[in-house]
Each structure stands twice: as structure tokens, then as C-alpha cells.
Amino acid sequence: MTKIWEVYALKYSERNDRTRADSFIFEENINQQHDMDYFIWLLRCKDELILVDTGYDARDAVPRQRPTLREPADALRQFGVRPEDITDLVITHLHYDHAGGLPQFPNATIHIQAAEVAYATGPCMCHDALRMPYTASHLCDLIQRIYSGRVVFYEGDAQIADGVIAYQIGGHSRGLQALGVQTESGTLCLASDASHYYENVFLRKPFPIVVDAQDMLDGFNRLEEIATDRSLIIPGHDPLVTSYFPNWQDCDFIYRLDKGCKIPFDL
């Protein structure tokens, strides 16, 4: 029988100094404030844990002038999990806000798409505009992990664990992977940056950080195919997640995602 997973979102940062023009191509209300939240995600099945992304830590918060509310590793500790306890780590893509602080997870085997590593270390990174979301030291940390023999490369869709499937979705970067996770509510889709906001996927609005708009739009269709229903698609950066889903215990920055939620479907 397929394993059933609990899924948690741990919020570690937020930004309010941005507008809808930063979130949607062809947006009309370009000057309207549009907040962004930052999460890491944790899958749990009994004593088995899979961490999904590592967020960014102080090494990026200072130069990018994006202070965190808490270090992602500390958010994990609040949940009762030590970073060194993580043995399986899915990196959805290598943007700075998803792949920082790898040395804090010394015992983790990293699960990643080969296309993402090739893209983030290849000739496209000679362009400032394409390099901007990446941090060179994160890639050095990843390469060290490769040389320690603890990186699993996937070439397209792949099963990562019983009940956890990675789906390669292009568009935002070359090798982003969203996850389909079996939960008691059905198949939940952790979209990560395949859809930053509910509006991106539901209204088919491309996000401005894009390497291939057609792939991004195809990816929106894909997310709806992966999830059992639309309420189980979890966008990567939408503050609405924190109001649609219940808090874990009384912690005000950890949310339980696998029990379902009430999304207003006029979105």
C-alpha cells in the first residue's frame, strides 16, 4: 500500500517591498503592493522525513537585503527536527531562496533534476539577468555534495520515495521539479516555483522570472493534472497559504497542508 504523508509548510521570510508587476507578466495594476512569503516544506510519514528545499540563510539575507524572520534551520528545530537528522532533501530548483544553507544539512542526500544542475552551472549563467536568482556559493556546496556521492540526479519525472513523485516542469528555470505527494486528502502537489501564487496557475498568468513562457504555461496545466483537486495545489510563495491552511499546534509560522483547506474558488 502506498505510504500516506503529512505535509507541512514552514514560513521563514516575507517581503512587502514589491508590486503586482513583480508577480505577473501583462499585469494591469502594476503599482499595487503584492507581498511574497518564503517557505520550506517537510514531508513526514511516521519517523520518515523528507525536507523539500532549504530556503536562504544569513549569507544571502545581507547581500540581497532580504532579512529573514528566522533561519530556515531554526524553523525546522521548532518543529522538533534537527537539520542533521535530515537524510533526504529534495531541491525543487537551485534559486537562492530554495537551495541555501546546504552545509547545515550534512547528512542529507540531495534529490535534484540533472537539467537544473546543468543549467545553473552552464553558459546561461554568463548573463546577469539569468544568473540573478542563483548564488554561486550554493552551487559550490552542491558540487561538494556531488563529490561526496550523495546527490541523486533525475532526468524527468521520477519516484523519489513511496508516495512521492517528482515532476520536471520547465519555464521558471530549466530543471524545476514539483512534487506529487500522497496524503489522506488525495494527491497534493507542492508546486514550488512552478506557480509562485494561486493566480499564476489558476488564471494562467506567467511569472516574470521565466526562461521559457510556453513551458511555464504548460506547467500550469501539469500542476492541475498532478493534484487530486485544485485545493491541493500549493503555490511556492503565496501568503494566502497561511490563511487557507491551519497552523500546526499553536506555532504561528508552521502550517499543515495535508488535511485539506477551503480555497475560495472564485480565484
Contacting residues toward Zn ion, per CB under 5 A? 95, 97, 193
Comparison of 45 and 91: residue with beta carbon closer to Zn ion: 91
Nearest to 176 by CA among 232, 247, 92: 92
Sign of the Cα torsion 219, 13, 109, 132 reads: positive
| CA-to-CA dists, residue 49 to 9, 37, 76, 110, 125, angstroms | 13, 23, 12, 13, 33
How far apart, in whole angstroms, are the C-alpha atoms of residue 70 and residue 57?
9
Q: Three-state DSSP class for 172? A: coil
Q: Give the residue ranges of DSSP H helices in 26-150.
A: 58-61, 72-78, 114-120, 128-131, 136-147
Minimum CB distance to Zn ion, residue 216 (Å): 11
How far apart, in whole angstroms, are the C-alpha atoms of residue 257 and residue 13?
18
Comparison of 45 and 117: residue with beta carbon closer to Zn ion: 117
Which amino acid, residue 87? T
Comparison of 56 and 182: residue with beta carbon closer to Zn ion: 56
Comparison of 54 and 182: residue with beta carbon closer to Zn ion: 54
Minimum CB distance to Zn ion, residue 130 (Å): 12
Minimum CB distance to Zn ion, residue 214 (Å): 18
Joined together, the cell numbers standing for residue 127 give 548573463
Minimum CB distance to Zn ion, residue 36 (Å): 8
Minimum CB distance to Zn ion, residue 236 (Å): 5
Comparison of 57 and 97: residue with beta carbon closer to Zn ion: 97
